[in-house]
Structure 1
């Protein structure tokens, strides 16, 4: 026969201070798990939604995977346009976006200075970067920029300092913010966009970093790759945009593995913390446990009751952490080497966080309960 369910609940209420401390400790451990898993899920989602299967990037073969170091001739987009019929052409406008992309020191209106990602673009950019949407303000003209939704986080500044009408400085010039854009969580959201000609003048460069081209459904990236291989004088390489961000996924794989290792370490630390607190809780109830055995309750029933108490506390701590994570952490911007991305507390993060919390409740209660039940009843009844 098992002990009544209410017995374990009442036991938690009899020791409010100890119960509250245990609850806070468990909630803290689960919260750390939410933060780390949210970081991993946010990074993976940012890279996953950044690519477009119909977009091909053409950049310098010498830059390897780092487009910021790429340098191609300014005539490259026109050469590509003349060489392929598969590039989308609507109303006489070829969907090829010449871009100058680099990292540079940016100073916000609040005086915050950080390494920002600036992309010089033309009016063709939103035709190719179809996930980009101007959510506020206007398209930039000379001396103006539009900022991504997460650009402030990338610079370590505030949204107020990066709002419309504020001025920022980079490449020795002052620029006026005239708009804000979003890209559905893609990597572009941490960038600053300005007119290509203006940016080339500021950087004293006439070359480009890349040309992004939108292919029609009948087009093939293999044709572009073949063109780049045949034109050895141009030293170009082509890659489908989704493949490019897939390589970044592999590049950051060690970071993700390390983050999962941190989840394991945090969970292990939580188990030991739970063991310590449960040992203390059970040590003060030796006579109570012995009395329950003396009046006829089996050890299995008492063990289930003690685990029930641990699981109840762990479930409450997981629920508390889950609410805080969803309301305060979900969507929080995190600065990273590739730019910035938002923490993502999704169903997977909730499942892992709550699963770890419940596991802590079981593993934390089981060893001390077994130790207390192994003691002789007569000896335990005399315990102080």
Structure 2
């Protein structure tokens, strides 16, 4: 039986060139389905990795109670001064607390390529902001001077938005700014932000002395509980306090799930079309080899061997389609920078990430298409009438 299956399978595969057009069409249709699925999964994975990889366990983020996002939060200068004296907060070499009050403002910028406006975050930052970001380093230029309309921008901003060249002036809303520095934070979400002096941002956007978040370096990750106890026992502080890692991990979940939920139904819908193509190809394969299959049956080959050989042919074409789709997606999209709307109603810049898990999911879908596309033709090949051997050409 195994010898018969092997012989029929090799005959089928060696005759693929006789059905080159249909076979190539099947491979490409399945490759397209896999490519679309992997594209969405790579987008979701890249978005999740960017946000989940942002932050540190020993940095706490403090927002107004119940606000959930920086854009919805509002903290006073009095609350900031109280937090500077809170227990569990680390100090720098000069003995100053590593605390940064920050303001998060939405501005419009022009996206490269499409020339359309998109929301992006302008962060009003204090002197300790850079020290509270892991892997922060200036790539070009310098930090902004306090009290001036100067910007430093994340490395990813230049790739996604126009007008942010070093030394150039750019208009954001009603205000003119000068780009004086470009920074990197090791691929975290901060690289999609622009920073300016918090006092200037407060003045230009009429925010008084208010801020929206406070970041603090903790003496140890466990010190966050000490900080929470301090805030709970002071009636002037009604805060949600979480570690930076947990904050951005929570932010990443919703959007990544939405991207994934869009990708799977679209890929499944396209898979129905690819299934029809695979079915048509395998039916054509059986039709063109009717006499050949009948001859094999007449000399002792079983119908089961003919069915398995047809099914293997279908699965091979599907696997080739899956590999082509996965390879094309990896070469075209892996590591490509993109942006999408985040939880703060601003664009989050991230890179596509084709993962091993998404490739496996794509290959499974390809094999499923190949199986169901070849199932009925395989059954048909098992019941080819023996008298077909006498059919005239």
| TM-score calculated relative to the size of structure 1 | 0.87
For 2:99 and 2:206, the matched residues in 1 are separated by 23
**For 1:71-86, what aligned pairs fall within 5 Å after superposition?**
71-86=74-89
**For 1:12-31, what aligned pairs fall within 5 Å after superposition?**
12-31=16-35
**For 1:122-133, what aligned pairs fall within 5 Å after superposition?**
122-133=126-137
For 2:60 and 2:118, the matched residues in 1 are separated by 30
**For 1:56-95, what aligned pairs fall within 5 Å after superposition?**
56-61=60-65, 64-95=67-98
For 2:233 and 2:383, the matched residues in 1 are separated by 79
User: Aligned pair count?
Assistant: 379
1:173 corresponding residue in structure 2 = 175
1:183 matched to 2:185: yes
1:323 corresponding residue in structure 2 = 327
Secondary structure, in 3 states, of the residue corresponding to 1:313?
A: helix
**For 1:174-253, what aligned pairs fall within 5 Å after superposition?**
174-205=176-207, 206-217=209-220, 219-252=222-255
2:361 corresponding residue in structure 1 = 352
2:58/2:221 contact within 8 Å kept: no
Structure 1, unmatched stretches of 5+, are none
Residues 109 and 313 (structure 1), Cα distance of their counterparts in 2 relative to 1, 3 Å cut? closer
1:376 corresponding residue in structure 2 = 385
CA offsets 1:288-338 (integer angstroms, 9 cap, x no match): 322332233222222232223223322322222222222210122333221
For 2:390 and 2:177, the matched residues in 1 are separated by 79
For 2:42 and 2:389, the matched residues in 1 are separated by 46
2:55/2:133 contact within 8 Å kept: no
For 1:213 and 1:256, the matched residues in 2 are separated by 32
Residues 306 and 85 (structure 1), Cα distance of their counterparts in 2 relative to 1, 3 Å cut? closer
Q: CA deviation at 1:373?
A: 2.1
Q: CA deviation at 1:102?
A: 2.3
2:56/2:244 contact within 8 Å kept: yes
Structure 2, unmatched stretches of 5+, are 343-347
Secondary structure, in 3 states, of the residue corresponding to 2:62?
A: strand
Residues 127 and 288 (structure 1), Cα distance of their counterparts in 2 relative to 1, 3 Å cut? same
For 1:320 and 1:120, the matched residues in 2 are separated by 47
2:335/2:353 contact within 8 Å kept: yes
For 1:295 and 1:337, the matched residues in 2 are separated by 65
CA offsets 1:204-224 (integer angstroms, 9 cap, x no match): 222111110010127521222
1:255 corresponds to which of 252, 255, 258: 258
For 1:54 and 1:208, the matched residues in 2 are separated by 21
Residues 47 and 377 (structure 1), Cα distance of their counterparts in 2 relative to 1, 3 Å cut? farther
2:43 corresponds to which of 36, 39, 46: 39
CA offsets 1:117-150 (integer angstroms, 9 cap, x no match): 1111123112111143433333233322222233
For 2:180 and 2:12, the matched residues in 1 are separated by 61
1:366 matched to 2:368: no
Q: CA deviation at 1:358?
A: 3.0
Q: CA deviation at 1:59?
A: 1.7
For 1:116 and 1:37, the matched residues in 2 are separated by 24
**For 1:144-163, what aligned pairs fall within 5 Å after superposition?**
144-151=150-157, 157=161, 161-163=163-165
2:306/2:381 contact within 8 Å kept: no
Residues 87 and 268 (structure 1), Cα distance of their counterparts in 2 relative to 1, 3 Å cut? farther
1:106 matched to 2:109: yes
Secondary structure, in 3 states, of the residue corresponding to 1:57?
A: strand
Q: CA deviation at 1:35?
A: 0.7
For 1:167 and 1:368, the matched residues in 2 are separated by 66
Residues 139 and 276 (structure 1), Cα distance of their counterparts in 2 relative to 1, 3 Å cut? farther
Q: CA deviation at 1:254?
A: 5.0
For 2:284 and 2:151, the matched residues in 1 are separated by 60
CA RMSD of aligned residues (A): 2.8
For 1:86 and 1:105, the matched residues in 2 are separated by 35
Secondary structure, in 3 states, of the residue corresponding to 1:302?
A: helix
Secondary structure, in 3 states, of the residue corresponding to 1:94?
A: coil
Residues 370 and 168 (structure 1), Cα distance of their counterparts in 2 relative to 1, 3 Å cut? farther
2:158/2:165 contact within 8 Å kept: no
